[in-house]
Amino acid sequence: MGRPHDLGNISRYLGKAVTLEDYMGWLANNFDPSISWSDLEWIRDFWQGPMIIKGILDPQDARDAVSFGADGIVVSNHGGRQLDGVLSTARALPPIVQAVANDLTVLVDSGIRSGLDVVRMLALGAKGVLLGRSMAYALAADGQRGVENMLDIFAREMRVAMTLTGVTSIDQIDETTLVQAQKLSDLV
């Protein structure tokens, strides 16, 4: 333990090799494992507005959000940054939608890189798609003009995907828009 290791981005950011102990200390300082639904109750005590809970990957957590009284959830793995190899939002989304879509608004983020990805997530049941990383990159590259360009690109890609799948409006996007695995096997 204590032996220097190259921990990738952290080492590059700090400009020196860091130990696993350094990394574990950083995690301990930045992530609180004691966070629970009671923390949301504390927030609810002083915030009566709409509440959307981000970071849901499990249908039971989604049902707990309904019981809590959340107005919506964001199915998110936070870009996979916190836990390498965590379930993708595309895999997590359908069972969550099945469990709670009639009870609250289900949004999704993580892994959205194109307009086609937006169409896919809508087809998997999301009511809306967040574009945080793409927006941040576009903003950093060219300010407001970059964000406007990124949104234009996403919209054009969505129109192409919708045209190719025979969908003429966003509200027509559903699971039938996607090719199902069993249908592919029937073609072979």
Is pLDDT above 60 for 143?
yes
Helix 59-68 / helix 89-100 crossing angle, nearest 10 deg: 50
Contacts 24+ apart (CB under 8 A), 150-155: 153/115, 154/114, 154/115, 154/118, 155/115
**Average pLDDT estimate for 21-29:** 77
Q: Which residues pair with 73 in a beta bridge?
A: 53, 106
Q: Starting at the edge strand that comes first in sequence, how are the strands of the sheet with 128-129 ordered?
A: 52-56, 72-75, 105-108, 128-129
- For 13, residues 6+ apart whose C-beta sits below 8 A from its C-beta are none
Q: Name the pairing type of β-strands 4-5 and 18-19.
A: antiparallel
pTM for the predicted model, two decimal places: 0.80
DSSP characters over 67-105? HHT-SEEEE--GGG-SSTTPPPHHHHHHHHHHHHTTTSE
Positive or negative torsion for Cα 131, 181, 164, 105: negative
3-state secondary structure of 11: helix
| Structure tokens that stand for 11 in this block | 């080492």
Task: Render pLDDT for 91-139 as a digit per residue (tens, 0 to 9).
Answer: 999 999 999 999 999 999 988 999 999 999 999 999 999 998 999 999 9
Catalytic residue among 5, 54, 78, 133: 78
- For 178, residues 6+ apart whose C-beta sits below 8 A from its C-beta are 120, 123, 124
Is 78 known to be catalytic? yes
pLDDT value of residue 22: 77
Task: Render pLDDT for 63-73 as a digit per residue (tens, 0 to 9).
Answer: 999 999 999 99
Among the listed residues 103, 27, 102, 30, the one whose alpha carbon sits nearest the alpha carbon of residue 70: 103
Task: Render pLDDT for 66-92 as a digit per residue (tens, 0 to 9).
Answer: 999 999 999 998 865 666 678 889 999
Q: Which residues pair with 53 in a beta bridge?
A: 73
